[in-house]
Chains A and B, each alone.
Chain A
Amino acid sequence: MAETIPNSVGVSRGGFQKSFLAQAWLVLLLAVSFGSALAFVQNSLSDVIAANKLNETLTQVPELVWGADTPQYTADTSHPIQITPGTVSIKKVQKTAYYPVFRVSRGDIISGWVVKARGQGYADNIEVLIGADPHVETITGLFILEQKETPGLGNKITFPTWREQFAGKNTDTPFVVVKEKSTTKNSIDAVTGATISSRSVAGIVNQTVKDVKGRLTPQTVLSGEGP
């Protein structure tokens, strides 16, 4: 099929508007109708998708606080695990940041916090769950909830071997991503070929720690029901 661009059409004086529509009306019509179809789909499925995500979050929460010890705590029925969802708001200079948080406790004793945070990655927003001890002095775990990083490179941030670098590290100093093995305090080895993705995650963790440290203590009362 020969591609012919009718260049005489559409540039004649005064008739531009009319012929522009004559050329593009189908594309415009498709865009509008597909747009409304997608709005309908999103509207009818968003609740189910949100429920799926919450479910996944809740299954990850205990392990983010207790790590490898999780099975022994979940098996202990004398101190049932309680996961209380809530929100903390942090007032900043221009805006207020909201973090969905989960308090994890056994009986009346708080074991730790899991904070959900997000930030810009290399491709799209990265959403993470950060586990921390009751005073947010130590990171106890990290889980990547959502990412669209490059397959084979950036998506390695979801691998346990990479994520586990954060666990057990103190939050006194910010995490620094390094390209070569380093013994510097709180250094995180970058994923090979994906330094930006690695830095994004470390950045999200640092920002979150900076915001919530001091705000989350064993005495903190969470505002709002639900995540």
Chain B
Amino acid sequence: MSKLPTASERFIQGILPENPVYRQLLGLCPTLAVTNGLKPALTMAMAVGMVLLCANVIISLIRGLLKPHLRIVAFTLTIATFVTIVDRALSAYMYPMSKTLGPYIPLIIVNCIIICRCEVCASRQGPLAAAGDALGQSLGFGLALASIAMVRELLGTGMLLGIPILPDVWPPWVIMVLPPGAFLTFGLLLAGVNWIRAWRSNQPQRGN
């Protein structure tokens, strides 16, 4: 097996080069569903981050004991536990937000980013690398969600985090906060990311 990335490499990779949403196209259900406002998007990213960090570290600690054919069961069990804890904590301390996010918090259990990171990183590397990986991926997920949510909330309501930004003459593009707005925004941003990557790989390499 080739040399696996270190904790800091895992962290850096997760943010942009292996961004879970823009590069791996994982976890698109919450990406499309909760990005009609910046606040729910950030809360979602934080919830996913918490679950990913805890699940990655636990799986990494028990990785030597995992039976190959029972590993997915162990992953799911671990993930489901932390999702339930986050869900309960949200409804206890952020009740209105927990109602806004509704079923999308329990749905983190089947979020493929987390199971993918458990499989790719945590079941093969130590807790430090697993934690670095979780933080990097969560940050990348958070940035992706925030980028989509910013466009949608700003154009759809003229506000950011509920604070009016655009002048009153701005007509809110209602479609942006509706499901089609999610697909349009995500499609255009994804195209932009791919375009930048293609452009950069065509640039001649400059040594420094």
Within the complex, what minimum Cβ distance (angstroms) separates B70 from chain A?
Answer: 6
A2, A3, A34, A148: the one within 8 Å of B102 (CB):
A148
One digit per residue, 1 when the CB lies within 8 angstroms of any chain B CB and 0 when it does not, for chain A 109-130 equals 0000000000000010000000
Interface residues on B, range: 20 to 34
Determine whether A4 belongs to the interface, using a CB cutoff of 8 Å to chain B: yes
Cβ of A152: which chain B residues have Cβ within 8 Å of it?
A: 179
Assembly CA distance A48 to B98 (angstroms): 14
Within the complex, what minimum Cβ distance (angstroms) separates A188 from chain B?
Answer: 23
Assembly CA distance A152 to B182 (angstroms): 13
Cβ of B77: which chain A residues have Cβ within 8 Å of it?
A: 27, 30-31, 34
Determine whether A207 belongs to the interface, using a CB cutoff of 8 Å to chain B: no
Assembly CA distance A56 to B62 (angstroms): 42
Determine whether A220 belongs to the interface, using a CB cutoff of 8 Å to chain B: no
Q: Given contacts A27-B74, A38-B85, are A151 and B68 in contact (CB under 8 A)?
A: no
One digit per residue, 1 when the CB lies within 8 angstroms of any chain B CB and 0 when it does not, for chain A 148-162 equals 100110010000000
When the two chains form their complex, are residues A27 and B73 in contact, meaning their CB atoms are under 8 A apart?
Answer: yes
When the two chains form their complex, are residues A45 and B89 in contact, meaning their CB atoms are under 8 A apart?
Answer: yes
Cβ of B65: which chain A residues have Cβ within 8 Å of it?
A: 26
Cβ of B103: which chain A residues have Cβ within 8 Å of it?
A: 123, 148, 151, 155
One digit per residue, 1 when the CB lies within 8 angstroms of any chain A CB and 0 when it does not, for chain B 41-84 equals 00000000000000000000010011111100110011011001
When the two chains form their complex, are residues B81 and A38 in contact, meaning their CB atoms are under 8 A apart?
Answer: yes
Determine whether A5 belongs to the interface, using a CB cutoff of 8 Å to chain B: yes
Show 27 A/B contacts (Cβ-Cβ < 8 Å), sorted by A.
A1-B124, A3-B68, A3-B69, A4-B69, A23-B67, A24-B70, A26-B67, A26-B70, A26-B74, A30-B62, A30-B77, A34-B78, A37-B81, A41-B85, A41-B88, A41-B89, A42-B88, A45-B92, A48-B92, A48-B93, A49-B95, A123-B103, A148-B106, A151-B33, A151-B103, A151-B104, A155-B103
